[in-house]
Amino acid sequence: MEHIRTTKVEQVKLLDRFSTSNKSLTGTLYLTATHLLFIDSQQKETWILHHHIASVEKLALTTSGCPLVIQCKNFRIVHFIVPRERDCHDIYNSLLQLSKQAKYEDLYAFSYNPKQNDSERLRGWQLIDLAQEYKRMGVPNSNWQLSDANRDYKICETYPRELYVPRIASKPIIVGSSKFRSKGRFPVLSYYHQNKEAAICRCSQPLSGFSARCLEDEHLLQAISKANPANRYMYVVDTRPKLNAMANRAAGKGYENEDNYSNIRFQFVGIENIHVMRSSLQKLLEVNGTKGLSVNDFYSGLESSGWLRHIKAVMDAAIFLAKAIVVENASVLVHCSDGWDRTSQVCSLGSLLLDSYYRTIKGFMVLIEKDWISFGHKFSERCGHLDGDPKEVSPVFTQFLECVWHLTEQFPQAFEFNEAFLLQIHEHIHSCQFGNFLGNCQKEREELKLKEKTYSLWPFLLDDQKKYLNPLYKSQKFAALEPNTVSFNFKFWRNMYHQFDRTLHPRQLVCNTIMNMNEENKQLEKDIKDLESKIKQRKNEQIDGVLTKDLLHTVHPESPALKTSLCFKEQTLLPVTDALRTIEGSSPADNRYSDYADEFSKSEPAMVSVEYGVARMTC
Amino acid sequence: MEFSELIRTGRAQAELLRGPEAPPLRGTLCVTGHHLLLSPGPQATPDLWLLLLRSVDSIEKRVAGDSGTITLRCKDLRVLQLDIEGVEATLDIARSIEALSSLESVITSYPFYHRPKGLRLGDAWHFHPPERYYKRVARETTAWRLSEVNEDFSLCPSYPRAVIVPRAVGDDALARSARFRQGGRFPVLSYHHAPSGTVLLRSSQPLTGPQKRRCAEDEELLRAVLEGAPPGTRGFIVDTRSAQTAKHARLTGGGTEAKAAYPGWKRLHRPLERGRPLQESFVRLVEACGDLEQSMDRWLSRLEGCRWLAHVKEALSTACLAAQGMEREGACILVHGAEGMDSTLLVTSLAQLILDPLSRTMAGFQELVEREWIQAGHPFQLRCAHSAFSHARPKHEAPTFLLFLDCVWQLGRQFPLSLEFGEGLLLALFEHAYASPFGTFLCNSEKERCLCEVRTRTHSLWSVLNQPKEQRKLRNPLYVLNPLAIWPSVEPQSLRLWQGLFLRWIHPSEPSEVAWEKVWQIVTDKEKTEGSQPMVSASEPQP
């Protein structure tokens, strides 16, 4: 609280981001310990979590006040005009402090209290059990076993304690191999395909330089390939562009030499590094934040940002993995440089393509816990949770979510969850409201005592499951997904990058409607059953001759006619109010052609009538 | 003329490749007067494969050894490949298809021979006469009348016999106004917006010429429009050309309304692409969609370069401007470009779809297409003579109607519950506008259709589309009546390429079709469960 100098500023204007006619809402701005809150004159609230703030900018003073532009990590951009410069300055300084914390303990998760007791909290953390997950995959088994080599994080600090390795790989081999791998991240199991007996393994780049070899590492790779009885060779996939991998050789790192390893097939897949991805997203956001963007500028901006090209590259790599396993029965070892960014993307997406379990709500959580959280994707650095090196920030996980979204678009029935689920997860990797994504690896999380001091996100999402269900989901239909990555299958993800720009969205939601219909169907079917059983019961009673006036009275209030009419009422109400609410936002004043309204009124000022308030629609 | 003169060979053995999804078909190929047939032989499936020759847009032949290959690119963007035994046979068949697919005579075209089972000639031709729309207008206002001044098409060859005009203006004045407008297209009512009492009009450009001529009756007509509306109503003339182009048009006898001559009316210029540039945009988009191997960057730059989505955006925002003028400003709107048969209709029809809930129903949309495109004299025969594949030098071709359908599709995507019809109807209209066994889209105007006796000698497309068995393909299962205006977002982020049309044959999307089927199932389930409840209550024993 010591950073907050002003808690309330009145007469603040919130500008519409895309309007060229400087339309605005006036209201009051509040600053709390955790949020920035704007309440407009119609009592509509806009909450912005301090941790979501990516940047705050104070622009040059104008006649109407001092402009303050806040960009958020969830791609919300708000543009306030604060009447007094002093207030603006205070808020600006407070937000700078509040949005960049120096210590984990100051993050929201450590103060967030959803009113649960300790045992509930613990149960929440136990919801996702990775040992259980490996068991589901079918390990340990005759070829794979749990290794205790990293029990105390001695071999690799950024790996979890529990790792699965080929049964024939002895501890000295593991230790030897880990010394030959960047950050000690030696090859371990990420996903085991039970039917094919093939595995996806992951690691970091070898410290091969120009000629170095490591017999233990070679043995370990051989052990992985032997653990797959169906195929003698395995793929080693380096997810970096070849040029980058070669450059690493000069620094004593690099990639596997096919001659030194028996039976490997080496492959580059060319995904760019975190710095390229960061600036690509930057460019994308610059383009689509432009006021009065033309179609041509949008597409040329989309092209020059390279964003969709990068998404396609990640997807292609995942497909390569899935194909190697499904078509060739071959195991795959994946690495990039350190094996926690591109490797996480590719391994998790590959598993998602192969295993329908990961396409369920629970399974998707497990997947994130396994390939991202436990294997040490540096969430805190990549999301900039703390005031740190801005060069470490990169939208690697966002790209993963976008790839999944593209899959949900291509396979509308293959996923149990919908887009809202992905958006919600994206919201929380940055919110620091839950402990799951804090820290950069498991060891760090244990040191922070996150399980005792914070809550897990997953049980909260599961409680809200209804919101995230895909009404068209069909569980059995797709075993392995075979997406088509032809260029025109990749589209700009408007609902992510313009999540808060409501005027750009479709005005009616199909998903909700179908969901409601499904719900109503179920309810109606249940009603029918109830009624039928009641009729049966009463018929029996009639036959028994026990039908009395009293009984009739008690039954009557629930007569089907009454009940049906109630149902119908609800039904007709639901979609209509829904439509009304959503369409309310759909007024010509919200859209850019409204700016021609100025033209309309230029000649005869007496006729000026279009004001945002007036333009609200009612039935 | 006999078709047989153009058919050089009766038959040949061939194999047909129909794209990535469908299995190849083998059998006897046969060219008839209107069709290409492939009969798969007795042992295989008895289905006859049939292609209307009129729908062939371009034909390419190659011979190698003793066989040949013909690639047919169709107007609905399908690409077919025929592998034919025998060099002579290949060349003969190719020449026959070339000759037969480019016949220009209307009265020997297939619709005049097509006699589908279960339909009677003359059915559905009286679904949507202008008189019917006038009945609706007459219920809402008395300021307008139905004029039969064009009864014999002498005033305006591209208008229907009956048009809706201000009650205060006599037929003589209309005749003078017609002489002052290109092609005789004087201002007529396109849509009456009952809630605001304002109207949407369309016409062609005034023939002011370099001398800035005026026409008192034309001015009177527009004055009467404002007088018929609520007091104080202003008017806007939405010119679909740039101010520059409109000015240039004066040199060739055209022009635009002078401000002083039409008090109360103000001109707005909203240039829309038309004619050849629009056709080229279409061609380039289809070319880009045909390349499956291109990189992401190349694809995006071609999508940008073809400018198609920019045209979609312009058309939609101009329509929104017109709609907004009526609904929000309470102003009357006159839309015209040069001839008033292309972008003008695009704007007036889209504006109605935005404002009028009735035009978003199945029947209402068909009426809109009939009234605002077919009867309003959009020259379908000229505009849709060739599609995107033709090598012929384009003369009058332009995909204006396709652009309209694309805009409607975009509206449907943004308001998925507000249109009673689905993508299926839009695809069908696209297909039939370019090549059809039905008479609905034949000819360029009502006058021509009367001369050819289209109504009595061909079947109407509407009668087929309204058959119960077609409904599942054409309807939107999620439709709920939405009484409000639907204002779309026209930001580039909100517009999408219409994959269902442009990639329909290249990249069929099976999973989304299955998903759509599932939506239908949920909806029909719902109807069933709802329907079964009253039955239960009916079986309720009476006390």
What pTM was estimated for this model as a whole?
Answer: 0.89
Predicted local confidence at residue B403, as pLDDT:
97
Concatenating the DSSP letter of every residue in B347-416 gives HHHHHHHHH-GGGGSHHHHHHHHIIIIITTT--HHHHTSS-TT--SPPSS---HHHHHHHHHHHHHHHST
Architecture of domain B3-103: Roll (2.30)
Measure the CA–CA gap between B135 and B129, rounded to whole angstroms: 10
Q: Is A579–B515 a contact, with Cβ atoms under 8 angstroms apart?
A: no
* CA B23 from centre of chain: 32
In a domain, A586, yes or no: no
A347 catalytic, yes or no? no
Confidence band (pLDDT; 50, 70, 90) for A604?
very low
- For chain A, say whether B478 makes contact (Cβ under 8 Å): yes
Chain A CA closest to residue B522: A518
Judgement on whether residues A247 and A336 belong to the same structural domain of the protein: yes
| Residues whose CB is less than 8 angstroms from the CB of residue A383 and which lie 6 or more positions away in sequence, other chains included | A73, A393, A397, A429, A430, A437
Q: What are the pLDDT digits (tens) for A160-174?
A: 999 999 999 999 999
Q: What is the mean pLDDT of chain A?
A: 86
pLDDT band at A541 (very low <50, low <70, confident <90, very high): confident
Q: With 80 as the cut, is the pLDDT of residue A278 above it?
A: yes
* Dist. CA B443–CA A519, nearest whole Å: 50
Do A138 and A16 share a domain, yes or no?
no
Flag whether A520 is in a domain: no
H/E run at residue A14: strand A8-15
**What's the rounded Cα separation, in Å, for the pair B159 and B449?**
12
Which of A512, A534, A564 is the last residue before a domain boundary? A512
pLDDT of residue B1: 52
Of B454, B459, B407, B233, residue with least CA distance to B330: B233
In a domain? residue A599: no
Interface of A with B in 484-513 (CB under 8 A): 484, 486-492, 494, 497-498, 503-510, 513
Asked whether residue A132 falls in the same domain as residue A93, the answer is: no
- The most confident of A515-529, B333-347, B460-474, by mean pLDDT: B333-347
The pLDDT of residue A455 is above 80:
yes
A83 lies in the same domain as A124? no
Taking the C-alpha atoms of residue B482 and residue B355, their distance in angstroms, rounded to an integer, is 11
Cα–Cα nearest to A342, from A389, A305, A375 = A375
CA distance B203 to B528: 49
Q: pLDDT, tens digit, for every residue of A191-220?
A: 999 999 999 999 999 999 988 999 999 999
Cβ neighbours of A573 in B, within 8 Å: none
Residue B45 pLDDT > 50, yes or no? yes
* B499 to chain A, closest Cα gap in Å: 9
| CA-wise closest residue to B464 among B431, B442, B438 | B438
The domain spanning residue A59 has which CATH number?
2.30.29.30
Strand pairing partners for A8? A30
Measure the CA–CA gap between A166 and A161, rounded to whole angstroms: 16
- What number of C-beta contacts closer than 8 Å exist between A and B? 226
Q: Is residue A603 part of a domain?
A: no
Q: So what's the pLDDT on residue A545?
A: 56
| Alpha-carbon distances of B418 from A34, A198, A382, A472, B121, rounded to whole Å | 41, 50, 42, 21, 33
Position B16 scores a pLDDT of: 86
* Residues in B touching A547 (Cβ below 8 Å): 543
* Model confidence at A478: pLDDT above 90: no
CA distances from B318 to A147, B203, B233 (A): 67, 16, 21
- Last residue in a domain, options A483, A512, A541: A512
Residue that has been written with the tokens 């393994």 in this structure: A201
Say whether both A70 and A131 belong to one domain.
no
Q: By C-alpha distance, which of A27, A17, A28 is closest to A499?
A: A17
Range of the domain at A136: 119-512
Q: Looking at the structure, do residues A356 and A460 belong to the same domain, yes or no? A: yes
Distance from CA of A326 to the nearest CA of B (A): 20
Q: Which residues of A touch B331 (CB under 8 A)?
A: 600
Q: Which of A156, A201, A203, A336 is catalytic?
A: A336
- A199, A84: one domain: no
Domain-located, residue A617? no
Q: Judge: B478–A514 Cβ closer than 8 Å, yes or no.
A: yes
A96 and A149 co-located in one domain:
no
Enumerate the known binding-site residues of A for substrate. Answer: 273-274, 336-342
Residue A523 lies in a domain: no
- Give the three-state DSSP class for A48: strand
Domain identity same for A161 and A67: no
A92 and A146 housed in the same domain = no
A421 pLDDT exceeds 80?
yes
On whether residue A107 sits in a domain, the answer given is no
| Domains contained in chain A, number | 2
Sign (positive or negative) of CA dihedral A437, A440, A446, A449: negative
Higher pLDDT, B54 or B4: B54
Is residue A487's pLDDT more than 50? yes
Residues A331 and A436 in one domain: yes
DSSP string, A268-300: E-----HHHHHHHHHHHHHHHT-TT--HHHHHH
Residue A275: per-residue pLDDT:
96
Which residues of B fall within a CB distance of 8 Å from A609?
328-330
State whether residue A482 sits within 8 Å of chain B by CB.
no
Q: How confident is the model at residue B2 (pLDDT cuts 50, 70, 90)?
A: low
Domain co-membership, A53 together with A146: no
Rounded Cα distance, A205 and A338, in Å: 6
What are the residue ranges spanned by the domains of chain B?
3-103, 130-524
Task: Note whether residue A223 is domain-resident.
Answer: yes
Domain boundary among A462, A484, A512: A512
Q: Do B309 and A590 touch (CB under 8 A)?
A: no
Q: Provide mean pLDDT across the span B140-168.
A: 93
Report chain B residues whose CB lies below 8 A from the CB of A528: 529, 532-533, 536
